[in-house]
Amino acid sequence: MNRGFYYAANGMILNQRKLDCIGNNLTNVSTSGYKRETILTNTFDEQMILVKHREKLSGKFVHRYVDTSYTDLEQSSFEYTDSPFDVAIAGDVYFNIRTIYPNADAEIMLTRNGQWELDGEGYLALGHSGRIQGENGDIYLGTKDFLIDVDGSIYLKDEETGQFTRFVDRLRLSYIDPKADIKKFGADMFTEVQTSEPPADLKFDIIQGAFERSNVDWNYELNMLLQANRLYEANSQILKICDKLNQSSTTLCKKV
């Protein structure tokens, strides 16, 4: 009977973790640059051995448990806005941001969120998260009239010619090793990753006037949510049945 309690409770815990993960994905479906999470499970077999002589096997039970979580870094689609502060990347590189969080694991983090603005001092920033980094550090613009080229070079308008020829800086871009361990910070930033300069043969373009949407598939997540919820409820019912059987067994033993 105790084994039934264990398997039912294990099923509830497993599917509760899935529900939490899916719920977080659905919450961030509109977050620019958000990368969906998924729970990875693993299994191991346990052989039930008969107590008498311990010679025969009475069967195998498969234990399923949460092994780890996985972040899907697949590029999503773009939404074009024509705003100079919306910036997207076509390719496998990431923006660098110097965070302002005092308890952050790393001062410099990576993000694909390209919905930027000017902070109170005129620096290019990602909301209240921190300042976007160029090759020379924080990027100071002081104006909303600027141009970002496809290679990440940033220019201001020359007052005499009216052309964007005043070079400011070049966006600092990083490449994440596909085999690296990734740790998220918040909804749209990454830390504790093995980063490097973009490989020479890696092709990418910086697109000003657009931002990358979340790569969450709404319909898929809803289907997974319903499936996990049904399994959670099924294991809950099994747990209740085991509890009733246990109570009945206890009552019969007392009568005997």
Query: Does residue 7 share a domain with residue 56?
Result: yes
Query: Does residue 226 share a domain with residue 164?
Result: no
Query: Does residue 230 share a domain with residue 127?
Result: no
Residue 45 has pLDDT above 70, yes or no: no
Query: Does residue 143 share a domain with residue 33?
Result: no
Query: Does residue 139 share a domain with residue 60?
Result: no
Query: Does residue 42 share a domain with residue 15?
Result: yes
Return the exposure string of 39-69: e unless at least 16 CB atoms fall within 10 Å of the residue's CB, then b. Answer: beeeeeeeeeeeeeeeeeeeeeeeeeeeeee
Query: Does residue 36 share a domain with residue 87?
Result: no
Greatest Cα pair distance, the chain, in angstroms, is 102
Domain range holding 20?
2-72+217-255
Helix H segments across the chain? 2-27, 218-255
Query: Does residue 172 share a domain with residue 85?
Result: yes
3 state DSSP class of 231: helix
Which whole-number Å values give the CA distances from 25 to 21, 35, 37, 40, 222, in the listed order? 6, 8, 7, 15, 10
| Percent of the chain scoring above 90 in pLDDT | 45
Distance CA 213, CA 207 (A): 13
Residue 151 has pLDDT above 90, yes or no: yes
Tens of pLDDT, residues 185-203: 888 888 867 777 888 888 9
Mean pLDDT of 109-127: 93
Query: Does residue 174 share a domain with residue 208?
Result: yes
Give the chain's domain count.
2
| Mean of per-residue pLDDT scores for the chain | 84
Backbone angles phi, psi at 56, to 5 degrees: -115, 150
Q: Is the pTM of this model over 0.75?
A: yes
Which of 133, 142, 86, 136 minimizes the C-alpha distance to 114? 86
Which whole-number Å values give the CA distances from 185 to 104, 106, 109, in the listed order? 8, 10, 8
Residue 41 has pLDDT above 70, yes or no: yes
Give the pLDDT of residue 155: 96
Query: Does residue 101 share a domain with residue 187?
Result: yes
Per-residue tokens: 221 = 């997540």
Tens of pLDDT, residues 65-97: 676 778 888 899 999 998 999 999 999 899 999
